[in-house]
Amino acid sequence: MIGRPVSVSAAVTTIPSVVVDRVRDGLVHGLGSGIPFLDLPFSCPEITALMADVEMRLRRVLDIPPDYEVLFAQGGAYAHFALVAMNLLAEGEVADYVETGLWARRAIDEAAKVALVTVAASSAGNGYRAIPPVGEWRLSPDAAYLHITSTESAQGVQFRDFPELSGGPLVADMTGDFLTRPIDVSRFGLIYASAQKSLGAAGLTIVIIRRDLLRPHAAAIPAVFDYRRLVEARSRVNTPPVFALYLADEMLRWIEGEGGLPELAERRGRRCERLYRLLDSSPIFRCRVRPEYRSAVSLCFDAVDPGRHAAILGAAAAHGLEYLDGHPAVGGFRLAIHNGHAEDDIDRIAEFLESIK
Ligand SMILES: *Cc1c(COP(=O)(O)O)cnc(C)c1O
């Protein structure tokens, strides 16, 4: 094996080693209080200041306009598949969904349990290899919102650009590519993302919502999942996920120190281009997704000879690359490129892809 093993899993992010060092230290010294971080009650001034800092940094990094609220919710994106519908829909209202892969499908299924939803477009028929062309979306004239999934981390498709549409606001599950590129937040009514794919630890779900969408809704919602209550309580209806917030704060500091999202997106672009070029020129591998829809976060591909799958996974592990296996629902291989990967990690991945003959 070559050095320490590297995870290429799309299920979690990669924490840069400098962030790991800072957090290890912080756990002991506790935000300057001298009390170990996990011994701090959530209502203490240090945690209050920490939460304000995470919000400030998130607003700065994503350039979030002032008419948006930033919520630190829990439950993961999977919980918010239904919660978004419960929080946004008034009595009798419907929402449109675009089905682009496994996560969009789950968002539709969960929302359909609590609300009226319609599937405006789907790429299920072609195995989710492309995003349905916007011109073919059959939008409901009176939909309260249109839901998209910015990156399908299981299938490896990504919206490179977001559709310009009239009608209800755009709602996006951005878990798959949150904080990987600059986005124009003002084009969305609501954005939600689980933290573990970009900010560190599971347990924290970021919800960014335009204030005018915090209206009376049809559903009876438990207080901890009610976006209006979360706004009023400054995300402290109950105990917030303080460790995940602490890690998020350190990740945001790191992102800013690296030059922010424009710099990280450019770096990612170079890295992806290099790796997709290797995959496309390899006689062993085949990319599943059409080039214009390929994800810059989650690269999904197959062995041309499926009989070699297990041996290739073994070779990856011997090269120090762990968790290359595709999503269980999809198969094949999946290679996630995270903000926190070092250039050395990318070199190692490239060497591995070239070594398979
Ligand atoms: C991982 C993922 C989810 C699920 O996140 P949980 O935190 O496990 O609920 C939802 N959507 C997308 C796009 C994802 O990549």
Instruction: Give me the percent of the chain exceeding a pLDDT of 70.
Output: 99
pLDDT value at residue 213: 97
Q: In the numeric block, which tokens belong to residue 77?
A: 């994106």
pLDDT at 1 exceeding the cut of 70: no
3-16 confidence digits (pLDDT tens): 789 999 999 999 99
Beta strands in the chain (DSSP E): 6-7, 68-73, 94-99, 116-122, 146-149, 151-152, 157-158, 170-173, 190-194, 205-210, 285-287, 298-303, 321-322, 333-336
Q: How far does residue 205's CA lie from ligand 1's centre (Å)?
A: 10
Q: At what angle do helices 260-281 and 242-257 cross, to 10 degrees?
A: 80
Q: What is the mean pLDDT of residues 32-52?
A: 94
CA 117 to chain centre: 23
CB 86 within 8 A of CB 107: no
> Residues 228, 214: contact at Cβ < 8 Å?
yes
103 is catalytic: yes
- Decide whether any atom of ligand 1 lies within 6 Å of the 194 Cβ: yes
CA 176 to ligand 1 center in whole angstroms: 7
With beta carbons less than 8 A apart as the criterion, state whether 275 and 353 touch. Answer: yes
Instruction: For residues 8 and 306, give the distance between their C-alpha atoms in angstroms, rounded to a whole number.
Output: 20
pLDDT confidence bin for 2, thresholds 50/70/90: low
pLDDT band at 149 (very low <50, low <70, confident <90, very high): very high
User: What residue has token string 């050095």?
Assistant: 3
Angstrom CA distances, 47 to 21, 27, 39, 129, 249, stand at 20, 13, 11, 44, 11
The amino acid occupying position 73 is A
Q: Are 159 and 101 in contact (CB under 8 A)?
A: no
Question: Cα separation of 357 and 282, whole Å?
Answer: 8
Q: Which residues pair with 95 in a beta bridge?
A: 117
d(Cα 92, Cα 90) in Å, to the nearest integer?
Answer: 6
User: Which residue, by CA, sits nearest to atom 3 of ligand 1?
Assistant: 77
Tokens of 223: 């207080």
* CA 217 – ligand 1 centroid, Å: 25
E strand or H helix that includes residue 312? helix 309-318
Average pLDDT over residues 14-39: 92
User: What's residue 345's pLDDT?
Assistant: 95
254 part of the active site: no
Tell me the β-bridge partners of 335.
Answer: 299
Provide DSSP, 187-199: G-SEEEEEGGGTT
- Contact (Cβ atoms closer than 8 angstroms) between residue 348 and residue 2: yes
pTM for the whole structure: 0.97
304, exposed or middle or buried, with CB in 10 Å at 0-12, 13-18, 19+?
exposed
**The dihedral sign for the CA sequence 198, 79, 86, 124:** positive
pLDDT at 165: 85
Average pLDDT over residues 302-329: 95
Per-residue pLDDT band at 189 (split at 50, 70, 90): very high
pLDDT digits (tens, 9 = 90+) for 87-137: 999 999 999 999 999 999 999 999 999 999 999 999 999 999 999 999 999
Q: Which of the listed residues 99, 100, 103, 110 should we mutate to test ligand 1's pocket, taking the one with most ligand atoms within 8 A of CB?
A: 103
Q: Which residue out of 103, 177, 226, 345 is catalytically annotated?
A: 103
Nearest to 111 by CA among 68, 146, 141: 146
| Ligand 1 in reach of 173 Cβ (< 6 A) | yes
Pocket test for ligand 1, best of 147, 153, 196, 300 (most atoms within 8 A of CB): 153
The yes-or-no answer on residue 347 being catalytic is: no
**Ligand 1 centroid – CA 3 distance (Å):** 30
Task: Give the closest residue to 206 by CA, choosing from 192, 225, 227.
Answer: 192
Probe target for ligand 1 pocket from 194, 295, 338, with the most ligand atoms within 8 Å of CB: 194
